[in-house]
Every structure is written in structure tokens, then in C-alpha cells.
């Protein structure tokens, strides 16, 4: 078999490998394929659309109730009292924020891997990138804010 038909795995880009001597290659080794599956953009888009839809429902729910009298539990269903209406509105607001933040987190994960593949980062920056969406101290880490500005902004948006 010729050298042109042989493949090998490499976790390090060719530009970072010293060009002294090529490693011996075996038949089972294949080149690394970098790609984004269709799952990530579809998930991101679905979460965003769901978040916007819940926000619109929340808006029209309160717009419909604007200017109406407050009912007590004796006047009708106990699930249409002021306290329950506030609960419905709060649930819609929380769900909308969660869905929109989840869409940003999916985009954030994709961008982290793009960033890591494109340039070398310190371990503290990499650690901060992976922790920033669930740890507020990592989101305001100086290494993240200085070395990975766009991921830092995306992480702060989720908070």
C-alpha cells in the first residue's frame, strides 16, 4: 500500500507538529474529522423559537388580563385568582428565560470547541470556559475575560 492511501489520527494540528520525522502509520489510523452535526444548530434554533413563543404567550396573557377586575376564590375558579395569575406569569417568564439561555449555552459550547481548536489557551482559561455557564466566578475570571472575550460575553448573557 502506498503512503498516499494511509491515514493517521492526530489530536494536534499539523502546524504544531515538529517536522523532523513522520511517525510510523498503521492501516487502522484515520484522520480526525472536525464537523458540526446537524443536531447542534437544530437544537439551538428550536430552543430559541420555543423561548420566543413562550415570551409571546406571556405578553398576550397579560395583555388580555390588563384592565380586568381581580376575582376572589368565591367568584369562580380558584385557579383564576390574582395569586394564580401571578404564578402563571412567573412560570412563563422563567420558562422563556430558561429556553433562551439554553439556546445561548448550545451556541457557547460550539464556540468553545472552535476557539480551542483555533488557538492555544492556558489551562486556567480552558477551565473557566467550561465552568462559566454554571459558575459565576468562572464567568468573571480574568483569564476568560482577557483571552476569550466572546465566550465570556456569551457566558455572562446566560447569567
In tens digits, the chain (159 residues) has pLDDT values of 444 545 444 455 555 555 555 555 555 666 666 666 788 889 999 999 999 999 999 999 999 988 888 777 777 777 778 888 899 999 999 999 999 999 999 988 888 888 888 878 788 888 888 888 888 888 788 877 877 788 888 888 887
The secondary structure of residue 38, as a DSSP letter, is T
Cβ neighbours around 155 below 10 Å, total: 28
d(CA 134, CA 136): 7
Backbone φ, ψ for residue 61 (5° rounding)? -60, -50
- The model scores a pTM over 0.75: no
| 117 closest CA partner among 51, 49, 36 | 36
How far apart CA 94 and CA 19 sit, in angstroms, is 54
Domain boundaries, the chain: 3-118
Instruction: Tell me how far apart the alpha carbons of residues 66 and 69 are, in angstroms, rounded to a whole number.
Output: 9
The count of C-alpha atoms lying within 13 angstroms of the C-alpha of 21, restricted to the half-sphere facing its C-beta, is 2
Q: What whole-number distance in Å separates Cα of residue 82 and Cα of residue 85? A: 5
Amino acid at each position: 500500500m502506498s503512503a498516499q492511501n494511509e491515514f493517521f489520527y492526530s489530536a494536534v494540528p499539523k502546524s504544531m507538529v515538529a517536522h523532523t520525522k513522520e511517525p510510523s502509520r498503521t492501516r487502522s489510523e484515520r484522520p480526525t474529522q472536525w464537523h458540526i452535526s446537524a443536531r447542534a444548530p437544530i437544537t439551538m434554533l428550536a430552543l430559541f423559537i420555543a423561548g420566543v413563543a413562550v415570551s409571546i404567550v406571556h405578553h398576550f396573557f397579560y395583555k388580555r388580563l390588563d384592565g380586568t377586575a381581580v376575582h376572589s376564590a368565591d367568584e369562580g375558579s380558584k385557579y383564576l385568582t390574582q395569586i394564580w395569575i401571578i404564578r402563571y406569569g412567573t412560570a412563563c417568564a422563567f420558562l422563556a428565560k430558561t429556553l433562551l439561555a439554553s439556546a445561548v449555552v448550545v451556541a457557547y459550547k460550539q464556540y468553545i470547541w472552535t476557539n480551542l481548536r483555533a488557538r492555544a489557551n492556558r489551562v486556567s482559561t480552558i477551565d473557566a470556559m467550561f465552568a462559566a455557564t454554571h459558575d459565576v466566578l468562572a464567568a468573571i475570571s480574568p483569564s476568560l475575560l482577557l483571552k476569550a472575550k466572546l465566550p465570556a460575553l456569551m457566558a455572562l448573557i446566560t447569567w
